[in-house]
Amino acid sequence: MVNLQQTKLNEDGSRKVSQIIKQVILNAATSDGIEPAEELTPFAKDALTSSGDTPLTMLKILFKKQKTRATATPRFISAMRKGNLTYENGIPDNFSITQLPQTLQGTPVEKLDIGRMLNMDENGTITENDTNTMHKSVLPVSRTMHFLQDKMKAFQIVVGEYFGTNSWVYNDATMWVTWIEDNFSTLQEIRAQRDQDLPVKIEIAISDRFNRIFNAAIVGIPDESLFDNRILDGILLRTTYLELPSAVREAISSNKRRQEAQPTNQNQNRRQRQGIARVNHENHPLELKMLSDQYRSNVTPYIQTHKDKVPKFDDNTDECLKFCFLGYCNEDCPRSKAHVAIKRGTKRFDILTKLKSSCMQSNKPTPDFQKGEEQ
């Protein structure tokens, strides 16, 4: 492990940037995957050399200028000052999206005067107790897509200033911002219907992705494969499994307990959070595949007016159209008997392919297709 600490000062009292740290940041700021960036951005240079609470002030000014609701945890500020971008323990911190919440309320650093702490830290008058509090990790508990969206925008802005807007990392951050924006309703729908923890799961996935990139920058230029964007479709199609570290899971449930301010049964809570078990269609034929937005605006209205057009799976069961077209459904679906993989070249496949085109063709804007969305 490379030692990323730096304490040396220049003659004028500003901190020196070690060559190692400078190289890591330049590597991370590559704009072609071949060469490191040529120079540190003015923002990175200031953050790395300025003293006391300056990095905090820099962030405040930046967020205000960009009209972004965000603040930074001490861990993030410290990461910015020291160029210590990565984390090791599986719980995202340091230079990660998780550390840019809208508010520090309800976190271990809630009551801390961070600016004062940073100044005291610098002139060595900080108490051990304060140091410990300051370095406590602030766990991500994004409950809504809006919250995630704000954090991601804040992160994009800092990444742009710190690494430059030509850098791959900035492009990647921008891609996430755009993706969240473009798929906002779909993501909200998945969250509402299937996975309450989706926002925080995405937050962790984004953090881990940048952590891998920053880790790669310690030893060289981050490889193109680290920027693979198939994960975006994977999340939408629910083929990518998003992990939630157990510490974060605990934080969410205790946060929820606090919010509800009433005794709850933890097991019940956990079951509710995880929702109902999902069934996936293995080897789902692409010809049948629809995104949930497509399904909602084509299949749902069509079936509402053509109830008789739902094909039979067997004498007693209709086909489960979610399973057929989305490629997944809930275990407790009343048509779960029909959750049987569809194979190309079968009569069943033909019938469903035709039904799909009928739905697509008859698509007319319908003012209310909320009903019948759930089976």
Instruction: Choose the stretch contacting Zn ion; rule: CB under 5 A; options: 22-30, 38-46, 213-221, 330-338.
Output: 330-338
300-329 residues near Zn ion, rule: CB under 5 A = 320, 323, 329
> What residues numbered 82-141 form the site for Zn ion, per CB under 5 A?
none
Could you tell me the smallest distance in angstroms from the CB atom of residue 337 to Zn ion? 9
Shortest gap between Cβ of 321 and Zn ion (angstroms)?
A: 8
| Whole-number Å distance between alpha carbons of 286 and 284 | 6
We find the least distance from the C-beta atom of residue 297 to Zn ion, in angstroms, to be 19
For Zn ion, the closer CB: 281 or 335: 335
Q: Name which of 170 and 328 has its Cβ closer to Zn ion.
A: 328
Closest CB 288 distance from Zn ion, rounded Å: 14
Measured from the CB atom, is 82 or 335 closer to Zn ion?
A: 335
Report the nearest approach of Zn ion to the CB of residue 311 (Å).
Answer: 14
- For Zn ion, give the closer residue by CB, 176 or 323: 323
Q: Quick one: which of 333, 340, 351, 360 contacts Zn ion (CB under 5 A)? A: 333
Report the alpha-carbon distance of residue 95 to residue 114 in Å, rounded.
Answer: 17
Q: Which CB, 226 or 329, lies closer to Zn ion?
A: 329
Cβ distance to Zn ion smaller for residue 191 or 335: 335
Q: Which of 59, 61, 252, 67 is nearest to 153 (CA)?
A: 67
Three-state secondary structure readout of the chain: CCCCCCCCECCCCCECCCHHHHHHHHHHCCCCCCCCCCCCCHHHHHHHHCCCCHHHHHHHHHHHHCCCCCCCCHHHHHHHHHCCCCCCCCCCCCCCHHHCCCCCCCCCCCCCCHHHHHHHHHCCCCCHHHHHHHCCCCCCCCCCHHHHHHHHHHHHHHHHHHHCCCCHHHHHHHHHHHHHHHCHHHHHHHHHHCCCCHHHHHHHHHHHHHHHHHHHHHHCCCCHHHHCCHHHHHHHCCCCCCCCCHHHHHHHHHHHHHHHCCCCCHHHHHHHHHCCCEEECCCCCCCCCCCHHHHHHHHHHHHHHCHHHCCECCCCCECCHHHHHHCEEECCCCCHHHCCCCCCCCHHHHHHHHHHHHHHHCCCCCCCCCCCCCC
First to last CA, the chain: 53
CB of 300 to Zn ion, least distance (A): 14
- Closest by CA to 231, choosing from 276, 172, 144, is 172
Nearer to Zn ion, 205 or 329 (CB): 329
Nearer to Zn ion, 209 or 322 (CB): 322
Give min distance, CB of 324 to Zn ion, in A: 9
* C-beta closer to Zn ion: residue 104 or 333: 333
Q: Which listed range, 8-16, 98-106, 257-265, 334-342, lies at the site for Zn ion (CB under 5 A)?
A: 334-342
Of the candidate spans 110-118, 284-292, 331-339, 363-371, the one that interacts with Zn ion by CB under 5 A turns out to be 331-339
* Minimum separation from the CB atom of position 323 to Zn ion (A): 5
Cβ 253 to Zn ion shortest distance, Å:
29
Q: What is the binding site for Zn ion (CB under 5 A)?
A: 320, 323, 329, 333, 335
